[in-house]
Chain A
Amino acid sequence: MLMKTTNTSHMNKSFKIVTVALLFIAIVSMSFKIIPFSKSLDSFMPTEVYNVDYNFFMKGGDKEMFIKTYLPSDNERQKIFSKKDIEGKSVFKIENEEGNQRAIWKLAKGSSMNNIKYSFTFKGKAIQYNIADNLPIQNSSSNRFLNEEKYIEVHHSKIDSLAKSLAFGKDDLKGVLTSFYNYVYNIPSAPIRGVTSAVTAFEQNQASCNGKARLFVALCRNKGIAAKLKGGLILENTKKRISHLWAEVLVNDKWIPFDVLNGYFAYLPSNYLEIYSGDHFLITHTPNVLFDYSYEIKNISFVPFINVTSKESIINHPVSLVKLLQSKIMPKSVLNFLILLPLGGLLIALIKNVIGLKTYGVFLPILIAFALTYTGYFTGVFLFLLITILVTVISIPLNNWGLLYAPKMVVILSCTVVSMLVAILIGIQYEINWLTSFSFFPVIIVSIMAERFARAIEEDGYKKAINRIRIINVRTTLCYVVFSSVVINSMLLIFPELLLVMIVLSLMLGKWIGLRVFEYSRFSTILLNE
């Protein structure tokens, strides 16, 4: 038997004190946050949060003026919070009108400029609806969502014959809807301003959102399928004036969305703000006055399961990084990277000291894994392989020519940068998305990677170098799985004390004397003979 020490002096006092103290601080600090944390859990789990401002400007004349618009309300895809009418000079009221909330501002006469601002916070998520196969078309003739409207000419002869030919041979709801949807979706879209009716859209064979949505609704209604128009805004981080129209169809007593312009079948993305239903104008106002408007939309950083709009929310806790995230002083990606770095390091240390896999460098796999969170796993791995192959090819002549090391590395790094840029340009030119995601690759990481690989080729030969890449890949994958977890990321933002816990775990791992997993199999004959 080997000489073994029973001396526990390595667990010396100061080590114990520091470890326990760190753990104590972390636990105490986190325990203060448990109640606010549980109070601010948000069951809605939005995927996007926006702040929306309606801005209206009106300069009037000699009579009392009005502005009318619609206000959004909650549904299963969206929640509206913090509604505020900011400008107080006007008389403001909200009326309920056929299920829509209509906001009305009344302005006193006079020639002064009136600014009206209404703001709210939108939380949204995307929902994909399923329409069962073989559902029959239910004819409910009394339904008001089957009627002809001014711009939805349900019973026009052209709509009639189009609906008949598109639905020919199909008797189930999904089949008919698919046929209508494909037809309208494939009509060329054109940025037409003003109102396009269903028949006009068909006759011109080109339309914008409103013409296409009306044509789709008209076709559905013609076949006895209840359908209606939906109006709203597509939210993006900008100031815009364009609103959007899409359609909803009644399937099994449930309204299912269809956007025939942007190609969403029984689906709406999370940034669609629904404001009203029916064929209405979003804004109406007193005619013949100076009027202008805009929608100011700001994307808000948030933590998915935390209510950002509640005042007692945990994000306002002094020891929380969500504030830092929202301040936008530090880019989100940099902050995420910083808080995930220790976790990645701990993972690599676990792999080395507990499992016993050889590790070449602690941080390279973490850095690569981080790049993969931008590009997506498979695209990223594929791009890395491309660069690896490229570097291999370049380094063959460079080695043969016998260049000095440092200049040779510069040649390799420059070639990597040039080919990344060329790939991005080609990707943009031919709209190849996976090529453009090269732009998400941090150049430094790619350079380090290329440099190491080229060196490994030179020192250990191709076979070993490739094997090395494979080992790096295993650890990168593990880091990627952890990094891409929204829950882990969010928990670190809310409980940054977890970084202290990671220090404690690493300290303990630093004193770990157990056998590595690989040692159990290596010494299995001895271990089994005991």
Chain B
Amino acid sequence: MMMKFKNLIKRSFTNDFDVLGINERNVSLIYPNNKRKYYKFADDKVLAKNILDAHNIPNAKTFAVIELMGDIQ
């Protein structure tokens, strides 16, 4: 019983489960693999598409970019 509990604690600290939690996602994947200066490409669809086009990676075609409410006609 004690051993089982100890094992469970150890597993929960190292997240030895089949689920990637938000903490592990950030600490193990996002932060080490993404520089802050690239975050804007994830946040901005248009910037991301520009990069994809520059490298000939197929993506959905951009018809128009609406930046202001007034652009809508």
Contact = CB atoms under 8 A, between A and B. Distances in A.
Interface in A424-453: none
B71 interface: no
A7 interface: yes
Contacts of A2: 18-20
Contacts of B12: 514-515
A378 interface: no
Interface stretch (A365-373, A479-487, A522-530): A522-530
Q: In the complex, which range does the number of interface residues on chain A fall in? A: 20 to 34
Q: In the complex, which range does the number of interface residues on chain B fall in? A: 10 to 19
Interface stretch (B23-31, B40-48, B51-59): B23-31
Given A9-B32, A10-B32, A515 B19 contact: yes
Interface in A255-305: none
B14 interface: yes
A527 B21 contact: no
A528 to B, nearest CB: 11
B17 interface: yes
A516 interface: yes
B66 to A, nearest CB: 23
Contacts of A519: 19, 21-22
A530 B28 contact: no
Contacts of B14: 513-514
18 contacts: A2-B18, A2-B19, A4-B24, A5-B28, A7-B28, A353-B23, A512-B23, A512-B27, A513-B14, A513-B15, A514-B15, A515-B12, A515-B21, A515-B23, A519-B22, A523-B19, A526-B17, A526-B19
A302 B67 CA distance: 63
Contacts of B23: 353, 512-516
B5 interface: no
Nearest to B20: A2
A390 to B, nearest CB: 35
A10 B28 contact: yes
A527 B12 CA distance: 11
Contacts of B18: 1-2, 526-527, 530
B38 interface: no
B27 A511 contact: yes
Nearest to B29: A5
Interface string A1-27: 110110101100000000000000000
Main secondary structure of the interface of A (DSSP, over half): loop
A2 B22 CA distance: 13
A516 B13 CA distance: 10
Interface in A318-358: 353, 356
A510 B27 CA distance: 8
B32 A530 contact: no
B13 A514 contact: yes
A213 B27 CA distance: 71
Interface in A478-530: 510-516, 519, 523, 526-527, 530
Given A10-B32, A515-B24, A530-B17, 13 more contacts: A1-B18, A2-B18, A9-B32, A10-B31, A353-B23, A356-B22, A510-B27, A512-B27, A513-B15, A513-B27, A515-B12, A516-B21, A523-B19
A519 B18 CA distance: 12
A10 B12 CA distance: 18
Contact of A527 (B17, B20, B29, B31): B17
B55 to A, nearest CB: 23
Interface in A391-419: none
Contacts of A353: 23
Contacts of B15: 513-515
Nearest to B31: A10
Contacts of B19: 2, 515, 519, 523, 526-527
Contacts of B13: 514
Nearest to A353: B23
A5 B28 CA distance: 7
A384 to B, nearest CB: 31
A235 to B, nearest CB: 52
A512 B25 CA distance: 11
A113 to B, nearest CB: 75
Contacts of A7: 28, 32
Which of B12, B13, B23, B27 counts the most chain A CB atoms within 10 A?
B23
Nearest to B32: A10
A512 B15 CA distance: 9
A1 B17 CA distance: 10
A346 to B, nearest CB: 16
A512 to B, nearest CB: 6
A513 B17 contact: no
B24 to A, nearest CB: 4
